[in-house]
Amino acid sequence: MFTIKNHLEIENGHLTIGGVDAVEIVKRYGSPLYVTNEERVRKNFRSYQDAFPEADLYYAAKANGNLTILKIMAEEGAGADVFSDGELYMALLAGIPKKKILFNGNSKSDSELLMAVMTGVRVSVDSFDELRTLSSIAKSEGRVVDIAFRVNPDVSPQTHPKIATGLKTSKFGVPHEEVIRAYKEALDIPGINPVGIHCHIGSQILNITPFAEAMNKMMDLVEQVSRLGVKLEFVDIGSGLGIPYEKGIRVPSTADLANLILPIFNERCVAAGINPKLILEPGRYILADSTVLLTTVNTMKEAAKKFVGIDAGFNLLIRPTMYDSYHYVVVANKADAVAVDTYTIVGPICETGDILANDRELPQIEKGDIVALLDAGAYGFSMSSQYNGRTRCAEVLVQKGDVDVIRKAETYDDLLSNQVIPARFL
Ligand SMILES: *Cc1c(COP(=O)(O)O)cnc(C)c1O
């Protein structure tokens, strides 16, 4: 037995996850299959918390919104960053305390704002317009809602453009030069209690210096906002720490991030004579490497390239198509065999862009082999679709050799659910 990547091991030539043989689990639960190692999820959460012992961690529910995952987060003491009414519903159902839920979003509907007011969660307000709408909703319900403003700090996170969220031109947040005016208005209008400040600069960030820039800009604002008479209970710096999708690359750790931003946060709080709570909102770091997507080879083709046609495409894992992301590939039933050829792994979707892995050196692949796509736990299942009439696969949770189904595979009925046939077609 030896380790192939992180917690993933090879035993008798097979990939194993959480003490379970990948080939056996596909035989039993079908293919494709998302397999999550509970122990790894908890370990990732705890290592983040260890690096930031004084901070609250709000798990970003969009990374993986499965109710069981949210319950694990609740057990670990996490709060939640939610971005929709559905995520809010799920986070509350999972038992995450309402005071540790921050409702984010750049285009919340009036009914979502009403839901925030009635459930008593905190709202990260994204614009002046939203502030005014929220105020009138809270006022008409006779409630007061705790808010932060989402700041656009104008910081380049040096990541894929589609996951850079804190650039001046990004759709998120109040431009930093307008933030003071926003708090002034928040102090004046009814139903609004400003208690925090929030930003989030992007995701899969591997050079952490932009976090220092963001923290400094945020603390400039924190000082000015405090001088207005706002008692800030929290400073939420968002998330974005990247993970090593490619085997062997060195990436900054949670400790590196803490060593970079905690001194800035602590010193500037002392200087300003304030004591707000630091909040971080990790998603990817907690879930990504806990999960593999197991797939089966349907067919092989030698053309301009050697194509491996598997049974999962961007319907189940859209990251390679959407963000040009890299996922490490293991042939799970030949996990210790030597690489002999260069393969391109493609899905079954009727789109040229349905490529999961390009030009990989792998052992001899044949029909029926089990191809594992690693680090699929964040923005994997949560971004899946039924495109091309493909039912979504099951998700299972493994823990020290035990397996629990945490989502059943869809059936044709699920393709039809909510479709209504007008009488004249019956
Ligand atoms: C997506 C998101 C996160 C999580 O980012 P990761 O890079 O997955 O850790 C945190 N906060 C907000 C506001 C987000 O939109």
Using a 6 Å cutoff on CB, does residue 280 contact ligand 1? no
Using a 6 Å cutoff on CB, does residue 104 contact ligand 1? yes
Is residue 117 within 8 Å of 135, Cβ to Cβ?
Answer: no
Using a 6 Å cutoff on CB, does residue 44 contact ligand 1? no
Task: Convert the pLDDT of each residue in 263-308 to its tens digit.
Answer: 999 999 999 999 999 999 999 999 999 999 999 999 999 999 999 9
**Taking 80 as the threshold, does the pLDDT of residue 1 lie above it?**
no
Distance from residue 160's CA to the centre of ligand 1 (Å)? 14
How many Cβ atoms from other residues are within 10 Å of residue 193's Cβ? Answer: 15
pLDDT over 90, % of the chain: 95
Regarding beta strands 355-362 and 341-346, do their DSSP bridges make them parallel or antiparallel, or are they unpaired? antiparallel
Using a 6 Å cutoff on CB, does residue 196 contact ligand 1? no
**Taking 90 as the threshold, does the pLDDT of residue 2 lie above it?**
no
CA–CA distance, 208 with 410 (Å, rounded to integer): 40
pLDDT of residue 162: 82
Which atom number of ligand 1 is nearest to the Cα of residue 240? 7
As annotated, the active-site residues are 350
Distance from residue 379's CA to the centre of ligand 1 (Å)? 10
What predicted TM-score, i.e. pTM, was given to this entire model?
0.97
| H/E stretch holding 145 | strand 145-152
Q: What is the rounded average pLDDT of the residues 24-39? A: 98
Is residue 217 within 8 Å of 13, Cβ to Cβ?
Answer: no
Task: Convert the pLDDT of each residue in 296-332 to its tens digit.
Answer: 999 999 999 999 999 999 999 999 999 999 999 999 9
The DSSP-derived string for 150-207 is EEE------S-GGGB--STTSSSSEEGGGHHHHHHHHHHSTTEEEEEEE---BSSB--
Using a 6 Å cutoff on CB, does residue 62 contact ligand 1? yes
| H/E stretch holding 137 | helix 128-140
| H/E stretch holding 333 | none
Task: Convert the pLDDT of each residue in 349-362 to its tens digit.
Answer: 999 999 999 999 99
CA–CA distance, 274 with 222 (Å, rounded to integer): 9
pLDDT of residue 76: 98
pLDDT of residue 229: 96
Which of 81, 83, 237 is the best mutation target for the ligand 1 pocket, counting ligand atoms within 8 Å of the beta carbon and taking the most?
A: 81
pLDDT of residue 356: 98
Distance from residue 282's CA to the centre of ligand 1 (Å)? 6
**Taking 80 as the threshold, does the pLDDT of residue 169 lie above it?**
yes
**Taking 80 as the threshold, does the pLDDT of residue 224 lie above it?**
yes
Q: What is the rounded average pLDDT of the residues 36-49? A: 98
**Taking 90 as the threshold, does the pLDDT of residue 189 lie above it?**
yes
User: For residue 244, which amino acid is it?
Assistant: P
**Taking 90 as the threshold, does the pLDDT of residue 163 lie above it?**
no
CA–CA distance, 276 with 329 (Å, rounded to integer): 43
Q: What is the rounded average pLDDT of the residues 403-413? A: 98
Using a 6 Å cutoff on CB, does residue 60 contact ligand 1? yes
Beta bridge partners of 2: 10
Distance from residue 381's CA to the centre of ligand 1 (Å)? 16
Which of 47, 48, 62 is the best mutation target for the ligand 1 pocket, counting ligand atoms within 8 Å of the beta carbon and taking the most?
A: 62
pLDDT of residue 273: 96
pLDDT of residue 41: 98
pLDDT of residue 296: 99
pLDDT of residue 247: 92
**Taking 80 as the threshold, does the pLDDT of residue 421 lie above it?**
yes
Using a 6 Å cutoff on CB, does residue 173 contact ligand 1? no
Average pLDDT, the chain: 97
Distance from residue 423's CA to the centre of ligand 1 (Å)? 45
Using a 6 Å cutoff on CB, does residue 285 contact ligand 1? yes
